Amino acid sequence: MVDLSGIGIAWQEIVNWFLAQPIWAQVLVIIGVFAVLVLAVILVYYILKGVAYLVYYLLKGVYYLLKGIGLLFYKLFEGLYYAISGKPKPQKAPANPEQPSPQQAPPQVKQEEEPIIPIQKYEQIVHPEVAYCSECGNRFTDSMIQTLTENGFAYCIHCGNKKTQANQMSIESQ
């Protein structure tokens, strides 16, 4: 047996129990121990991650709180300064610079009318010899001919071959 006198009596009993088990039970116990250890490490990771987020957002909140309090004191003392000194508080520029001030007249802009260009529609004529697929020889359906007319190309529903008006089927005599 294994000499574990330095470990203690409780460990010795656990080791004896483990060694008394069949090999398949020992393998399952080892897998179980590793699974528990991995789950414990994952649990510790997420706990530490949660604590880190908690501390981060707590410090971020305190920062914004102190920033707001500082801004409050700044505005308070700025208002007291202008009240005690009798100086007028400078006004900010208007938020929307595109709006002219009341003293300035708006600039006159000539509005030019855009020329109206009619939309030109191009119609393509499908030749009768295009009505058959050059790959499989089947006749094109009406929807395929319509697609060929509109787009300039169509796919055969029987074989999937792409047919365009540019590559018209020619009959060669041999």
Which residue has better confidence, 172 or 95? 95
Whether pLDDT at 86 is above 90: no
Same domain membership, residue 79 and residue 18: yes
Whether pLDDT at 137 is above 90: no
Query: Most confidently modeled of 2-11, 36-45, 154-163?
Result: 36-45
Which residue has better confidence, 42 or 85? 42
Whether pLDDT at 114 is above 90: no
For the residues 133-138, what does the mean pLDDT come to?
78
What range does the domain containing 151 cover?
A: 128-164
Q: What is the pLDDT of residue 25?
A: 93
Whether pLDDT at 4 is above 60: no
Whether pLDDT at 169 is above 90: no
Query: Is 56 a domain residue?
Result: yes
Same domain membership, residue 132 and residue 80: no
Same domain membership, residue 78 and residue 141: no
User: Alpha-carbon torsion 42, 46, 52, 56, what sign?
Assistant: positive
Buried b (16+ CB within 10 A) or exposed e, 74-105: eeeeeeeeeeeeeeeeeeeeeeeeeeeeeeee
Q: Which domain-ending residue is among 52, 85, 118?
A: 85
Q: Which domain-ending residue is among 23, 57, 85?
A: 85
Query: Is 68 a domain residue?
Result: yes
Q: Write down the pTM of the prediction.
A: 0.39
Whether pLDDT at 172 is above 50: no
Query: Is 93 a domain residue?
Result: no
Query: Is 21 a domain residue?
Result: yes
d(CA 75, CA 81): 10
Q: How confident is the model at residue 2 (pLDDT cuts 50, 70, 90)?
A: low
Cβ-proximal residues to 153 (8 Å cutoff; 6+ apart), any chain:
147, 162, 163, 164, 165
Whether pLDDT at 174 is above 50: no
Number of folded domains that form the chain = 2
